[in-house]
Amino acid sequence: MSGFNYEKDADGIVTVTMDMNGPVNSMSAEFNPLWKEMIDKLEKEDGLTGVVIASAKKTFFAGGDLNSLLAAQPENVEEFFNTVEDMKADMRRLEKLPVPVVAAINGAALGGGFEICLSTNYRIAYDHKSVQLGLPEVSLGLLPGGGGVVRMVNLLGLANALPFLMEGKKVVPAKALKAGMIHETVASLEELVPRAKAYILEQKGNEAAAVQPWDVKGFKIPGGSANSPKLAQVITGAPAMLAQKTRGLLPAPEQILDCAVEAARLDFDTAMTIESRGLTYLAVTPEAKNMISTFFFGLNKVNGGASRPKDVEPQLTKKVGILGAGMMGQGIAYSSAMAGIEVVLKDISVEAAEKGKAYTEKLLDKRVSRGRMTEEKKAEVLALIKPTADDADLQGCDLIIEAVFENIELKNKITQSTEQYLAEGGIWGSNTSTLPITQLAEASEKPENFIGIHFFSPVDKMPLVEIICGEKTNDVALAKAFDYTRQIKKTPIVVNDSLAFYTSRTFGTFMDEGNRLLVDGTNPVRIDNVAKAVGMPVGPLAVQDEVSIELARKAGETHKEMGVYGKFGPNDVQEEIIDFMITQNGRGGRYHGGGFYEYSDAGKTIWTPVVEKYFNADYEISDQDIKDRILFRQVIETLKCLETNVLRSVADGNIGSIMGIGAPVWTGGFIQFVNTYGLEKFQARCGELAAQYGERFECPAIVAEKIAAGETFQ
C-alpha cells in the first residue's frame, strides 16, 4: 500500500509501517482510505498471528489534520460527524482483530497519534525524551475525538484520565508507563519492532492478549463508574472548579468533562458517539478556529523563523554578557546557563552580581528537590555563571545584553564603556521595554550591530522575547538575536522600532482604559472583575499595582523629556491618576506599600479612598461596554502597529499578544480576534464605541482595506 508499507513475516506477523506523503504521518485526506484498506486486508489475512503498527518517520504520528478542522463549517457538520465516526469505526475494527495488535512507538504520538496507539492491545515506546505521548487537543480548542476521551477513561479511570484530557498533559515514555498509558519501553530504536514481534510470539495461545480490557465481559472502569459514590465528589465539584479556571470562555474543557463523565456512565460504543458529537460541536466554534490558527499555524510560523533573515547562517551564542543582575538580568542569566551558554553576570558590585547568581541556584534547588535535576547537573549550570563587577570579564562575549533601568543616559553610558569588550562581530542587545532602539543605538560605535531584546518578567517563566530592529540594525544582528532566543528555548517575535514597540505600547492601552473607566465613574472592583470575565489574566488596576504605578510615573517623565508625552503612553488621565495615587497619597503600587489595593496575608482588598474619589453610582455603563472598551482598545492598538509596520506579521502580533500581553486565549490573539468577530462587524462596533467614548476607538484604516479586498488578516 502506497503510504503504508505492509509486510508479513514467516511467523504470520504483519508489520504496517506508516510512511505517508510529507514530513509526518497525519490524519490528512490520504489517511482514511489507507487506514481502511489496511484493516480490510488484515481482516482477510490467512494465518495472521499478530500486527505491529510502526512508523518510518521521526515522529510516530502527528495527529489530526488541522487544515480540515480549520475548514469545518456549521453547514458541513453532518459530513464532518460522519467522517469522524467512519474513522473511529475502523479503529474499532482494528482493536477487535482476533490477534494481538502492538504499537511500536518510535517518536512523538500526540493527539490522533496517541489515539491510534490506544486502539492497539499493547503499546511499546522508545524510552527517549523526544518521544512525547498525550492528548493535547484542548490547547487547540478541541477534544480527542478519535476515541481518546472514551479509551483514556476506560483505561485509567475518570479521575486519572482527566488531567491528560483537560490539561492536555504530555509525558515522556517513563511517565506514560507509570501512568498506565503504555505497557513497556525499550532502550533503543533498533529494539522496538523486534520487541513488538517478540511480544506477539510470547502471547501464542493467549486469546486474552487480543482483547481490549473494555471488551472483556464484566469489565469495570478503574476507580468506578460515574454512578460510584467514590466519584460523586469529583463529578459534582469539577464543573465549579472548571468555571473558576476558564471563566466560561473556553468550550473545549467543558465538552471534554461532559464526554469523560458520559464515558464513565454509558456503554463504550454509545460514549464513542457522544465523543464524536463533542468534537463536531467544537470544530466549528470561533474559539477552536482562533486557537488552531494561532497556537498551531501561527506559533509554528514564528518559531520556524518566518521573521528571521533567510540568507544568514545560524548564529550560535557561546558567551553572553549580562549587564545588571537585578530581576531581569538574573532571569536572563538563568535561562542562558540552562541552555549551556557561558554567562558573565556583571553589576556595580560583586555582592550584587553574586545575589543575581543566587537566583539561579534557588531555581535549580527547586528542580533538584522535585527530582527534575541531579546535583551534578546543577553544579554544571552554576559553573557557567561568572558574577563580576569588572568590565574586563566581558572580553570575548559574542552577545552582550544590557538589562538596567529604563534611563537613556544610563544605558548610553554603559554602552559606551563596555561595548569594546564584544568579540569581533559581536552583537549588543538592549533589554528595554519602551525606549526606541534607533535612539539608544546612537551611543554605539556599531549601530548596525545594536538590537532590542525585550524579555518579560519573570524571565524564567515567560516564554516570549520581543526583538526590536532599529533603523540601522543589520540582518546578522537580527539573526543572532533570533537564534539566541530559540537557543534559550523561548519564542521570538520580531518588530520594528517605535516608542514602546508593540507589546508595551499595547499593554499600555489596557492599563489606560482601566484608568479611563475609573475616572468616568465605574466602580474599580467592577472594572477588574469584568476585565477578568473577558479573559484578561488580571484587571487593569490590579496589574498597575503589580508593575508599579511609580514605574508609570518615571516612564511619563522620560517620555516628557523625549518630547513624546501622550503619544502612546502617559496622558492627562494617567497624570491625574498619578497625582492622586502618588503625589497626594504616596501609593506607588504593591511593592511601594500599596496602590489601588491594600495587601495583607489575608489577600487584597480595594483601597477605600479610590472608591470614594472616583466611583459615581449615577454613572451607567453595561458590562458589555466595559468588556469591549478593554478588549477593543488593545485590538485597535495592535492593528495600528500592523498598519504602520511596527508589527512585521500577523503571526507575530497574535503570538505576542497572547504570550507577552495576556490576550484572552479564546481570541487566538488580538488580530485573529477580528477575523472571527467579522471585519465588518468589528468596524461597526468600533464606530459605536468611538461615538460614545471617544476617537481612540476609531477603526484603523487597515480594516477597511481588508474588507474592500475581500480578505481577512493572515
| Residues classed as catalytic | 454
Rounded to 10 degrees, what is the CA torsion of 285, 286, 290, 293?
Answer: 60
- Phi, then psi, of 53 in degrees rounded to 5: -100, 115
- Phi, then psi, of 186 in degrees rounded to 5: -125, 155
Which three cell numbers, joined as nine digits, stand for 478?
A: 537580527
Buried b / exposed e along 586-602 (16+ C-beta atoms within 10 A): ebbbbebebbbbeeeee
Beta pairing partners, 161: none
Report the distance separating Cα 275 and Cα 279, nearest Å: 6
Buried b / exposed e along 344-370 (16+ C-beta atoms within 10 A): bbbbeeeebbbbbbebbeebbeeeeee
CA distances from 670 to 52, 322, 634 (A): 46, 33, 7
CB neighbours of residue 530 within 10 Å: 23
Q: What share of the chain is helix, strand, coil (3-state, %, to 5)?
A: 55, 15, 30
CB of 544 closer than 8 Å to CB of 552: yes
Q: Which helix (H) or strand (E) holds 577?
A: helix 572-578
Helical axes 350-369 vs 327-338, angle rounded to 10°: 50
The vertex-577 CA angle with 574 and 579, nearest 5°, equals 110
DSSP 589: B
Report the distance separating Cα 284 and Cα 79, nearest Å: 13
CA distances from 506 to 437, 450, 578, 630, 637 (A): 18, 24, 20, 11, 6
Q: Given the C-alpha cell 477603526, which residue does it identify?
A: 699
- Phi, then psi, of 83 in degrees rounded to 5: -65, -45
